[in-house]
Structure 1
Amino acid sequence: MDVFWYALVGLLLAGYLALESVDFGVGMLLPLADTETGRARMRRGVVPLFLANEVWLVAFAGLLFGALPLLEGELLSALRIPVVLLLTAWFLRDAALWFRTAHPGDRWRRAWDVVLPVSSLVLAAGWGAVLAALTRGLSTHGNGHAVATAGDLLHPFALLGAAVAVVGSLRQGSLFAGRGLPADTSLAVRLGRLDRVLTPVLLVLLAVTAAVGATVTDAPVAVAVVAVLAAAVVYGSGRLRAAGRTTAALVLGAAPLIALPVLVGAANGTTVLATRSGDGVLHLSRAIADSASLGLLTVTVLPFLIAVVLGQVWIWRVFGRADHHRTA
Structure 2
Amino acid sequence: MELHDVWFVLIAVLWTGYFFLEGFDFGVGILTKLLARDRPEKRVLINTIGPVWDGNEVWLLTAGGATFAAFPEWYATLFSGFYLPLLIILVCLIVRGVAFEYRAKRPEEQWQRNWETAIFWTSLIPAFLWGVAFGNIVRGVKIDQHFEYVGNVGDLLNPYALLGGLVTLTLFTFHGTVFVGLKTVGDIRERARKLALKLGVVTALLALGFLLWTQADSGDTASLAALIVAVAALLVALVMVNAGREGWAFILSGLTIVAAVAMLFLALFPNVMPSSLNPDWSLTVTNASSSPYTLKIMTWCAGIATPIVLLYQSWTYWVFRKRIGTHHIAPDAAH
TM more than 0.5: yes
Question: 1:153-168 residue pairs with structure 2 within 5 A?
Answer: 153-168=156-171
The separation in 2 between residues aligned to 1:218 and 1:272, in whole angstroms, is 13
Question: 1:178-327 residue pairs with structure 2 within 5 A?
Answer: 178-179=181-182, 181-183=184-186, 185=187, 187-215=188-216, 217-219=217-219, 223-278=223-278, 280-322=281-323, 327=328
- Structure 1 unaligned regions, length at least 5: none
Match of 2:85 among 82, 85, 92: 82
The separation in 2 between residues aligned to 1:157 and 1:222, in whole angstroms, is 21
Give CA-to-partner distance per residue, 1:32-77, whole Å, 9 cap, x none: 2121111111111111001111111111122112222222112111
* Aligned-partner SS, 2:306: helix
Match of 1:94 among 85, 94, 97: 97
* Aligned-partner SS, 2:51: helix
Deviating more after overlay: 221-230 vs 242-251? 221-230
TM-score normalized by structure 1?
A: 0.91
Give the AA of the match of 1:6: F
Q: Given that residues 193 and 241 in structure 2 are in contact (C-alpha distance below 8 angstroms), is that contact kept between their aligned partners in structure 1?
A: no
The CA deviation at 1:117 is 0.8
Label 1:175 to 1:144 Cα distance change in 2 as closer, same or farther (>3 A).
closer
The CA deviation at 1:252 is 1.7
Give CA-to-partner distance per residue, 1:121-157, whole Å, 9 cap, x none: 1110011111111111112469762356444432221
The separation in 2 between residues aligned to 1:180 and 1:256, in whole angstroms, is 20
The separation in 2 between residues aligned to 1:145 and 1:48, in whole angstroms, is 40
Give CA-to-partner distance per residue, 1:83-116, whole Å, 9 cap, x none: 1011011111111111111111111011111111
Number of equivalences: 325
Deviating more after overlay: 221-230 vs 49-58? 221-230
* Aligned-partner SS, 1:272: strand
Identical aligned residues as a percent? 26
Q: CA RMSD for the aligned pairs? A: 2.3
- Structure 2 unaligned regions, length at least 5: 330-335
Label 1:146 to 1:320 Cα distance change in 2 as closer, same or farther (>3 A).
farther
Label 1:212 to 1:238 Cα distance change in 2 as closer, same or farther (>3 A).
same
The separation in 2 between residues aligned to 1:180 and 1:305, in whole angstroms, is 27
Q: Given that residues 207 and 228 in structure 1 are in contact (C-alpha distance below 8 angstroms), is that contact kept between their aligned partners in structure 2?
A: no
Label 1:94 to 1:320 Cα distance change in 2 as closer, same or farther (>3 A).
farther
